[in-house]
Structure 1
Amino acid sequence: MSKIAQQSIQTTAFSYIGVILGYINVLWLYPYALDATELGTFRTIQDLGLLFVPFAQLGVGHGITRYFPKLEQKQSAFLTYSLALSLVGFAVVSLIFFGFKAQIMGLFATNSPEIINFLGVVLLITLFALLSSVMDAYSRSYLKVAIPTFFREVFLRFLTSVLVGIYLLDWINFDQVMVGLVIVYGLSLLGVLVYLIWLGKVQLDFNWKHFPPGFRSSFIRFSLITFLATAASTLIMKIDSIMVSSMVSLEANAIYSIAFYMALVVELPRRAISQVAMPVIADHFSKNNLKEINLLYRQLSNRQLYICLFLFAMIWSNIDSIYHFVPNSELYQSGKMVVFYIALGKIFDVAFSVNSEILVFSQYYRFNLVLTIAMSILIIAVNYWLIPIYGIEGAAIGSASVMLAFNLVKYGYLKIKLNLEPFSYETLKILFVGVTIFALKDFYLENVNPLVMMVIKSILIVGMFFFWSRIANVGQEEWNWIKSKLKKSGP
């Protein structure tokens, strides 16, 4: 087995272990061990810290990936140079943070004053997460992906579980939990650093004069262009949580965060498919093979929509049973419609397929940058409009609406510029199959245990999904793949 294949398998395994740990934490441990205000504080402080990372990083992570192959030597100097640029970015972010500290405190003073006590933790999380991301990119350039993924996806979440578990045992107080968060992120960084040292890939080298001519200026220019898109993307992912804390309450953010995490299940197949599709799209563009790109565009749209509609139906039909197993469910169940709207936004995203990836690898990549920045501004504006009216549901409706608008613009642009079309008659048949199984949402049996009810509904959904798929003649590749796996696992 090749090294790349081994790394891919290990990375995938660690990613899924991380997802399982994440769901155990968010849906059971956190709401069991922390009250809603503590959970809201816990999540908001982390979201704030991670929100600042791309601004401090200045796009250096993508720059390392792009420019590392251009170096035949001086890789350690490149790492040192990249870390130095990131620290400069962190210093700028810190100065801005302290310069506007009064305004930041003002955002939370009315509805979430508990946040103010832990603003120092925010910058420390930013620092450790920033350095980890740079080390991650450097390790990835050596095709060493699995172990950094372990520290980011598994180790970090496991230590967070231990930290909250210690609090549950009353060995520490909540203030110490927040300080412990800094230690957790620091240990995750230390793990990646020790791994790179063990590989012999880390040396302090400040001799930056021997890079190829024009290397540094080109690296900085590319990094800064990438930084804008990355920062805007992170802002889009994190801003809902922060604005809910600021404009409503920490308790509301706790409810929103749990609902948001449930809805993310719908998106998991898209993430996996996107990672596989990107190099294929890049290769087709290098050969100017638009016909193959259009075929891939359509195939992935249908496949993602088919799988993700099924996941959406499974989650939404069983939503009451799922919430039953969340501690303090009577409180957190008020976020049920957030699950629906966020999942709907994810369905919009998967239906329009890999339009972002196509734009990034095309000659029109700058349009994706402009559009991402515009989207981040729009989602802030929409949240300011809808959250005061509809609360946490307003944030979710805003996200879904902006996601639809974002994808419609990209769809229209690719249609005009490259004549690409992801939709077909097959799309209508998939939508028909997906909508029919949502009828089971209101199916209910009196005096039945929620777990049993979940099993019964899930079996009915699978049966109905298979039945209508056969009638509409869609999803045959997916069902054939499942049957082949079942045969292999048989006697």
Structure 2
Amino acid sequence: MKKLAKQSLLTTISSYLGVLIGYFNVLWLMPYAMDPEQIGIFRTIQDMALLFVPFAQLGLGNGITRFYPKVKSEQFSFFTLSLLLTLFGFILVAILFFVFKETIISAFAVNSPEVVDFFGVVLFITLFSVLNTILDSFCRSFIKVAVPAFFREVILRLLVSILVGTYFLRFITFDHMMWGLALVYFISLMGMILYMVRIKVFKLKFKFKSFPAGFKTEFIKYSLITLLGTTGAILIMKIDSLMVSSMIGLDANAIYTIAFSVAVVIEMPRRAISQVVMPLVSEYFEKMELDKVGKLYKDVAVHQLLLCTLIFLGVWANIDNLYHFIPNNELYRTGKWVVLWIGLGKLSDVLFSINGEIIVFSRYYLFNITATLLMSIAVIVLNLFLIPIFGIEGAAVASFLAMFFYNLIKFFYIKWRLGFQPFSLDILKIVILGILIFFVQDWLLKEMEPGVGDLALRSVLIVLLYLGGTFVFNIAEETRASFLTFLKKIKRSES
């Protein structure tokens, strides 16, 4: 468990360091260096590429985590097979992309025609990203999640900073910067390969006949089915941005992008925790230790909601302060309510704990087909209905509703099939505490003007009230006891 805790901590640090760099990029550097239309192109191309990634991956990421324990003795043959299948998946996606190219062009031709010029960048980013996800999944099987997270969260964003900064200084043109975006993903991929070579977990081995009978068929079947679950999560994350570009325009997507980037920080602890618990959930199901799965389900729900609610409070209470520092903020401030709806959607993901991971690694993984089909239809229909009426806020509400009901469906299914549920009295306490603190800080500091002073004072007040509230409400008692013991050890070592 110490190894898991260390990996989780390092992954969380990388996540938040990446957030700081990402905030610098999205909230200051990009609005300062690029026009709203250019930001819209930049984000639309990335989102389109990352939307293709789960299809090209063929669901192999979850398949690797689930089936790795069964073929540890032939791990490098398993690794090689996964890479070859992923390359095959990318070729299929590329072929389909060219077959339906005219349809894709027509979707953007009216409101965002400039996107069409960079379709080549989309395919390169897709290729490099999908290979990176396989390397990431293989590292996760070794409980090596910290360094891959560092490449994914920090290095990638730093390279984007350098790329946009180079354009800002006019060393390159906008077209060069867009093609440089593909290079950024390639450099990150090369870094991952070098890291895996260094720790001796990157080796190509083509002895596929050594697998147990029926293993390859079972692995591919499972991966293709879980592909739908992965696709559903990515679809919610990316389809709104693409539909905003297509239905409204690139300027609107720039506003939406910045608002979305402000909100997405709320789920950072959930991402870090998920990376660490996925191998555990897979192992517990493999050993049929269902009681441990149920306990993990509840424990993760409390701890990640405790962290993410604090971040949500910090973000939404300081929303005017955050927009205050953005260049051309009067334009981008119109996306303020997008932050609220996307933030609430992220909290719904957090609230329902690791429901997706439990379904994926249980024997009921076929349910992903039903859940994802329902969610995919819902998110597209909701966007088509709400965007023309409410604009970018409509896209945000559509995402919130899709995320909430997607999680609700999975919650009821797990409760029915496995008898697990993530909720406890601590969950209710956290929700009540969060609501109370928001209204208290809002009332106490209602006369403050947006700026550094308000940001600092409001943030400190929220943290102090929140920490105090966790003790008053007696939330996460075991964790607090461990933390106090840790502090006492530090105090004794200093004396």
Alignment TM-score, normalising by the size of structure 2: 0.88
**Which residue of structure 2 aligns with residue 46 of structure 1?**
46
Q: 1:39 to 1:80 in 2, by over 3 A?
A: same
Distance 2:242 2:349 in 1: 22
Q: Which moved more, 1:3-12 or 1:236-245?
A: 3-12
**Which residue of structure 2 aligns with residue 83 of structure 1?**
83
1:3-42 deviations in whole A, cap 9, x for unaligned? 7777666545434432332222222222221111111111
State whether structure 2 residue 372 is matched by structure 1 residue 376: no
**Which residue of structure 2 aligns with residue 330 of structure 1?**
330
State whether structure 2 residue 396 is matched by structure 1 residue 402: no
Distance 1:422 1:173 in 2: 51
Q: Give the conservation status (yes or no) of the 8 Å contact 2:8–2:276.
A: no
Q: 1:413 to 1:70 in 2, by over 3 A?
A: closer
Distance 1:471 1:148 in 2: 38
Distance 1:360 1:195 in 2: 28
Distance 1:5 1:353 in 2: 18
**Which residue of structure 1 aligns with residue 321 of structure 2?**
321
Q: Equivalences for 1:169-184 in 2 at 5 Å?
A: 169-184=169-184
1:68-87 deviations in whole A, cap 9, x for unaligned? 44446665544443332222
Q: Equivalences for 1:254-269 in 2 at 5 Å?
A: 254-269=254-269
Q: 1:432 to 1:171 in 2, by over 3 A?
A: same
State whether structure 2 residue 437 is matched by structure 1 residue 437: yes
Q: Give the conservation status (yes or no) of the 8 Å contact 1:14–1:150.
A: yes
Distance 1:208 1:422 in 2: 40
Q: Give the conservation status (yes or no) of the 8 Å contact 1:352–1:422.
A: yes
Q: Give the conservation status (yes or no) of the 8 Å contact 2:128–2:189.
A: yes
Measure how far apart 1:328 and its partner are: 1.7
1:423-481 deviations in whole A, cap 9, x for unaligned? 34544443322212221336556575611112222233334445655554445556666
Measure how far apart 1:410 and its partner are: 2.5
Q: Give the conservation status (yes or no) of the 8 Å contact 1:324–1:450.
A: yes
Secondary structure in structure 2 of the residue aligned to 1:364:
coil
- AA aligned to 2:451 is P
**Which residue of structure 2 aligns with residue 18 of structure 1?**
18
**Which residue of structure 2 aligns with residue 352 of structure 1?**
352
- AA aligned to 2:230 is T
Secondary structure in structure 2 of the residue aligned to 1:117:
helix
1:48-85 deviations in whole A, cap 9, x for unaligned? 11111111121233333344444466655444433322
Q: 1:47 to 1:272 in 2, by over 3 A?
A: same
Q: Which moved more, 1:309-318 or 1:40-49?
A: 309-318
**Which residue of structure 2 aligns with residue 251 of structure 1?**
251
Q: Give the conservation status (yes or no) of the 8 Å contact 2:225–2:368.
A: no
Measure how far apart 1:274 and its partner are: 3.6
Distance 1:31 1:457 in 2: 25
**Which residue of structure 2 aligns with residue 98 of structure 1?**
98
Q: Which moved more, 1:201-210 or 1:455-464?
A: 201-210
Measure how far apart 1:237 and its partner are: 1.6
Distance 2:332 2:480 in 1: 36
1:350-383 deviations in whole A, cap 9, x for unaligned? 2223333333343323224421332122111111
Secondary structure in structure 1 of the residue aligned to 2:260:
helix
CA RMSD of aligned residues (A): 3.1
1:237-264 deviations in whole A, cap 9, x for unaligned? 2111111111111111111111112112
Measure how far apart 1:296 and its partner are: 4.5
Alignment TM-score, normalising by the size of structure 1: 0.88
- AA aligned to 2:359 is L
Q: 1:149 to 1:386 in 2, by over 3 A?
A: same
**Which residue of structure 1 aligns with residue 194 of structure 2?**
194
Q: Give the conservation status (yes or no) of the 8 Å contact 1:306–1:434.
A: no
**Which residue of structure 2 aligns with residue 27 of structure 1?**
27
Measure how far apart 1:280 and its partner are: 5.2
Secondary structure in structure 1 of the residue aligned to 2:366:
helix
State whether structure 2 residue 462 is matched by structure 1 residue 461: yes
Q: Give the conservation status (yes or no) of the 8 Å contact 1:21–1:158.
A: yes
Distance 2:474 2:75 in 1: 53
Of all paired residues, the percent bearing the same amino acid is: 50
Q: Which moved more, 1:124-133 or 1:97-106?
A: 124-133
1:95-133 deviations in whole A, cap 9, x for unaligned? 111111111011111111110111111111111112222
Distance 2:473 2:110 in 1: 54
Q: 1:423 to 1:132 in 2, by over 3 A?
A: closer
Distance 1:454 1:199 in 2: 43
Secondary structure in structure 2 of the residue aligned to 1:365:
coil
**Which residue of structure 2 aligns with residue 343 of structure 1?**
343
- AA aligned to 1:114 is E
Q: Give the conservation status (yes or no) of the 8 Å contact 1:313–1:438.
A: yes
**Which residue of structure 2 aligns with residue 224 of structure 1?**
224
1:143-183 deviations in whole A, cap 9, x for unaligned? 55444333332222211111100011011110010111111
Q: Give the conservation status (yes or no) of the 8 Å contact 2:15–2:268.
A: no
State whether structure 2 residue 451 is matched by structure 1 residue 450: yes
